[in-house]
Structure 1
Amino acid sequence: MAQISNLRIDPRSGFCSSNSTFYSKRTPFPLPSNHCLDITTFISSYPHHGKTAFIDANTGRHLSFSELWQAVDYVATCLSDLGIQKGHVVLIIAPNSIFFPIVCLAVMSLGAIITTSNPLNTPREIALQMVDSKPVLVFTTSQVVPKLARSSVRIVLLDEQVINTRSEAKIVTTIDQMIKKEPTGSRIRDRVYQDDAASLLYSSGTTGTSKGVVSSHRNLMALMQLFSILVNPDEGEQTDICTVPMYHIYGFGAFAIGKLTTGSTVVILSKFDMNEMLAAVEKYRVTRLPLVPSILLALVKGADQIQRKYDLSSLQSVVCGGAPLSKAVVNGFLKKFPTVHIRQGYALTETTGFGASINSLEESRKCGAVGLLSPSLEAKIVDPVTGVAVKVNQTGELWLRGPSIMKGYHNNVEATASTLDSDGWLKTGDLCYIDDNGFVFVVDRLKELIKYKGYQVPPAELEALLLSHPEIFDVAVIPFPDYEVGQYPMAYVVRKTGSNISETAVMDFVARQVAPYKRIRKVAFINSIPKNPSGKILRRDLIKLATSKI
């Protein structure tokens, strides 16, 4: 990173004309100088006055900070007894629970790598991820165990439900048994360094199919420092509710581990349900609520009925991320909930949750912006055609560089090289501009991801699946705009000669093999898929065709 003190940086925008780089206007944070340090030890060293770390909204079970760290120590010892060592990959496939952070922290404390998967994924999707990540142990629930029928990997159950005899052969213990097993003697730990891999979360990257994002202990330390400096003592004690999945960078970084640095209490919902969420806000006097735009919209639409049924007076702020938030939705929310601030943000799995954010009431008045650049982060806005970095208020692809940028994509040198350049710049695939005051605005996406209720849906994965159908000759999947969910996958299908496959048959074929949020929800038949000379699908042409009929 360049020595900022030697550069002539515009204090308003953060732009330096000598190197066409934007610098964060936020105060930079230090990172520990001790290179031999793991993220779990780092988090446990944060001073705070918090008492309750986690509350399970379903069971009412409370976990104090001291109970949490004892559980982490006990589970880490059991993992060591099971032969888990530095560099091993451990998979957790489970809904949000009070055990999720315990498992993640215990695994990373040993220098092992935690990887996560959506419990709604199909056996096929889980198998593909396991082939890529090669886990030596899986933490999961009894409901998910049947999806692992073809795997021989050992299993630790996160619940006590009885499983069929065939599955029991792979179950080595349960999380409750681990937590109750007091360590005996001393165990030898491998030396863990800041640059070692800590997590392997799957993302669709800038294009194409899902890829494993390797984040180091240092990357996660940067995220922890970000959370710690955002604490506003004037806000008093804070209670957050985790409505977002912990297998995603948002839930993993912010709620499974991030809030432990601040002493906040996190109320955990195992799955999203609007009424359960609102009841938990009332019962536990939640002050901060993380949402995606589609849920925020639902709150606006049902505000009058919601406010009659639930006491939401404890809410101070709503944090919205995962997809762009329109000005109309923001204004609608503020009209219905005038005492609640909206804080938007922009981040990627590849940036370990860094990007830009709105951190104050004054900043939230900047309509349309996703915020100021995160601390210690640099940005460039690069013309996607010429490759030249542009200036303030000019649109181009957002490139980011800083201490939170991933190590790379797991076992994918080609994808890493196309996303990370030799100087450490990460190409986000998002078209953005940065204004005179340093605020980041997301205009469009160069990348081809579809955002369904904040979930990432890679078109290439669905296209590959559809092309396996014997009656489909060619296909293209595009995002179709929807007011309720943001976008949903739409397929343009070229039938094989003689085929009369229907729209319903196409949708059902996909639905049987993918998670619910990836399902095709609209089908149109076409004579040929428009492509450029190199064979790349001209999605923008298809999007124009689809939306021209709205």
Structure 2
Amino acid sequence: MANSSFNPETQTYNSPRPPIKLPTSFDLSLTSFIFQSTSSFPHQTALIDADSNETITFLQLQSLVSSLAYALRHRFHVAKHDVVLIVAPNSIHFPICFLAIVSIGAIATTANPSFTFNEISKQVKDCNPKLIITIPELYNKVNPFNVPLVFLSQSSTSPKCSYYSDIIKNYAEQALNSNNNVTQNDVAALMYSSGTTGTSKGVMLTHKNFIASTLNFTADQDRYMEGRNVCLCFLPMSHGFGTVLSLAQLRRGNVFFSMAKFGLEKVLGAIEKYKVTHMFVVPPVMIYIAKQGMMMKNKYDLWSLKQIISSAAPLSRDLIQTCSHILPHVEIFQGYGMTEACGKISLENPKEGSRLSGSTGTLMPLIQSKIVSVSTIKPLPPNQIGEIWIRGPTVTPGYFNNLEATKVGIDEEGWVHTGDLGYFDEQGQLFVVDRIKELIKCYGFQVAPAELEGLLLSHPDIDDAVVIPYPDVNVGEVPIAYVVRASNRTITEEDVKQFVANKVAHFKRLRTVTFVESVPRSVSGKILRRELIQKVRSKI
């Protein structure tokens, strides 16, 4: 079969999927775009909250977004280009806040609620938010920033701050003028990602990026004229994938079902009760299904479930086959994406092509790609491994306040150098086989070794350190460290692990610490991380 996606003249790969037409109106915000498409079914359910059982229709959603947007501008004096930080677990309030922020031309940024004060403070220092939206349980993490707070919920010990419920009640009859001078080229969000190199950076994503990505995300559902689907989301909406997932489902008129935290029995119960059709997961969830699914599946009616789509890290063919055996009526497949692409880059299509191939599928409709030789920097034809480059209307214009990182990661022609190694086969299927970049993928989250190494080197008893990934069947990879003790110091492995654990989120914690006499480095001083990884894995 000839490869219809590869152009030998330009040495680029294009999507074999049907093209998508983007809206041409320059002064179109993401919020306006989403509500344009949902105006024909105002009374249908838009959002369901698994934890509170609260439901919201599309008409109610639009009203809530408008009320909060009015309050942001007139009560909190949030102006265009101001940043508002959301630090909260999943709930149906999350997309309401996001859409309200971007509707007035302000910029939404999100942080994982499991982050420590130190991690959040780096982001706050970088983007200088004018307002923080959070929950009372996180008060101690965000209060020291001396930024006005809005709490999404109340508790018996809630401090005296502004509350989402009061704001909505007080501004229920208010509505902003629809003309907020927002254009497709305005930045809508800063999604912090470790990107292709180094520590966390703010990925600027425009209204156009999100509009294109929401259309891309559900392109196959539209293509095959599927009805209204029910999408279950327990992936953190604080992550770019979770945010785009919610927006894409709402744009299409699907039911978006929010769950704050994953639990297998809770998920299976929700599938049965709410007739969930689509579930987006990360590989650790697939491992849960593989290990416990057969025992539990007979307890629940799961026949509504049509698709399970995995992203964030590669799935093994064996794992997909095991899960397919447990849920034979469900299409299980995977995709590939990154924050810099505002979501998906490629996705398997279970209605076409081979199943259980181990590929990440074909390119999304609006994405172009090149495979570039790491040694010669020349584009490669099918079946040759190189760095994956991508380009398209979903791709970030750059990193916030970081011109140097932008120049390193995105070239003058708009190609993002992903740092991932892969290849396309003759059918246009993309296989992601390794990473040039030094990120560790743990529980689907990105862990930057440079961040942990910097933390280790801040300890007075540590002279040098290197952090590398170690394969873990349950979570993908875990960070492990090789540490050089300072002279005459007796710091222990447990001391080092606890020092790091006190300062980072759970998925960044070191699993083992090995003391060594020196860290392998090149003549220029660069850590020879790849050599160490190969040495460690040769002993597994």
Query: TM-score under structure 2 normalisation?
Result: 0.96
Match of 1:310 in 2: 300
The 5-angstrom pairing of residues 353-432 of structure 1 reads 353-363=343-353, 365=355, 367-432=357-422
Match of 2:61 among 60, 68, 77: 68
Match of 1:155 among 140, 144, 149: 149
Match of 1:128 in 2: 122
Q: SS state of the match for residue 77, structure 1?
A: helix
Counterpart code for 1:231:
Q
Distance 1:471 1:311, change over 3 A: same
Greater mean deviation of Cα atoms: 359-368 or 274-283: 359-368
Do the aligned residues in 1 keep the contact of 2:196 with 2:437 (CA within 8 Å)?
A: yes
Which runs of 5 or more structure 2 residues have no equivalent in the other structure?
none
Match of 2:445 in 1: 455
Distance 1:363 1:188, change over 3 A: closer
The 1-side partners of 2:174 and 2:470 are apart by 57
- Residue 322 (structure 1) aligned with residue 351 (structure 2): no
- Residue 264 (structure 1) aligned with residue 254 (structure 2): yes
Match of 1:30 in 2: 21
Do the aligned residues in 2 keep the contact of 1:357 with 1:373 (CA within 8 Å)?
A: yes
- Residue 104 (structure 1) aligned with residue 95 (structure 2): no
- Residue 239 (structure 1) aligned with residue 230 (structure 2): yes
Do the aligned residues in 1 keep the contact of 2:317 with 2:358 (CA within 8 Å)?
A: yes
C-alpha displacement of 1:368:
1.2
- Residue 92 (structure 1) aligned with residue 82 (structure 2): no
Distance 1:463 1:545, change over 3 A: same
Match of 2:512 in 1: 522
The 5-angstrom pairing of residues 201-350 of structure 1 reads 201-232=191-222, 235-255=226-246, 257-350=247-340
Match of 2:73 in 1: 80
Distance 1:38 1:546, change over 3 A: same
C-alpha displacement of 1:113:
0.4
Q: SS state of the match for residue 353, structure 2?
A: helix
Do the aligned residues in 2 keep the contact of 1:343 with 1:364 (CA within 8 Å)?
A: no
Do the aligned residues in 2 keep the contact of 1:477 with 1:491 (CA within 8 Å)?
A: yes
Do the aligned residues in 1 keep the contact of 2:231 with 2:276 (CA within 8 Å)?
A: yes
C-alpha displacement of 1:304:
2.1
Match of 1:54 among 23, 47, 52: 47
Counterpart code for 2:121:
A
Query: TM-score under structure 1 normalisation?
Result: 0.94
Counterpart code for 1:245:
P
Per-residue CA deviation, residues 241-282 of structure 1 (Å, 9 max, x unaligned), is 101000111100012x11011111111111222222122112
The 2-side partners of 1:299 and 1:227 are apart by 24
Greater mean deviation of Cα atoms: 336-345 or 245-254: 336-345
C-alpha displacement of 1:184:
4.2
- Residue 548 (structure 1) aligned with residue 538 (structure 2): yes
Q: SS state of the match for residue 346, structure 1?
A: strand
Q: SS state of the match for residue 322, structure 1?
A: coil
Do the aligned residues in 2 keep the contact of 1:42 with 1:221 (CA within 8 Å)?
A: yes
Do the aligned residues in 2 keep the contact of 1:341 with 1:361 (CA within 8 Å)?
A: no
The 1-side partners of 2:349 and 2:510 are apart by 37
C-alpha displacement of 1:18:
1.4
Please, what is the CA RMSD of the aligned residues? 1.6
The 1-side partners of 2:287 and 2:146 are apart by 44
The 5-angstrom pairing of residues 433-452 of structure 1 reads 433-452=423-442
Per-residue CA deviation, residues 73-100 of structure 1 (Å, 9 max, x unaligned), is 1101111112111100000000001100
Match of 2:7 in 1: 16
The 1-side partners of 2:376 and 2:88 are apart by 45
Do the aligned residues in 1 keep the contact of 2:70 with 2:175 (CA within 8 Å)?
A: no
C-alpha displacement of 1:59:
1.1
The 1-side partners of 2:456 and 2:194 are apart by 18
- Residue 179 (structure 1) aligned with residue 172 (structure 2): no
Do the aligned residues in 1 keep the contact of 2:66 with 2:174 (CA within 8 Å)?
A: no
What is the aligned length? 535
Greater mean deviation of Cα atoms: 51-60 or 176-185: 176-185
Do the aligned residues in 2 keep the contact of 1:77 with 1:183 (CA within 8 Å)?
A: no
C-alpha displacement of 1:186:
5.8
Do the aligned residues in 2 keep the contact of 1:11 with 1:25 (CA within 8 Å)?
A: no
Match of 1:3 in 2: none
Which runs of 5 or more structure 1 residues have no equivalent in the other structure?
1-9
Q: SS state of the match for residue 531, structure 1?
A: coil
C-alpha displacement of 1:101:
0.4
The 2-side partners of 1:191 and 1:185 are apart by 16
Do the aligned residues in 2 keep the contact of 1:13 with 1:435 (CA within 8 Å)?
A: no
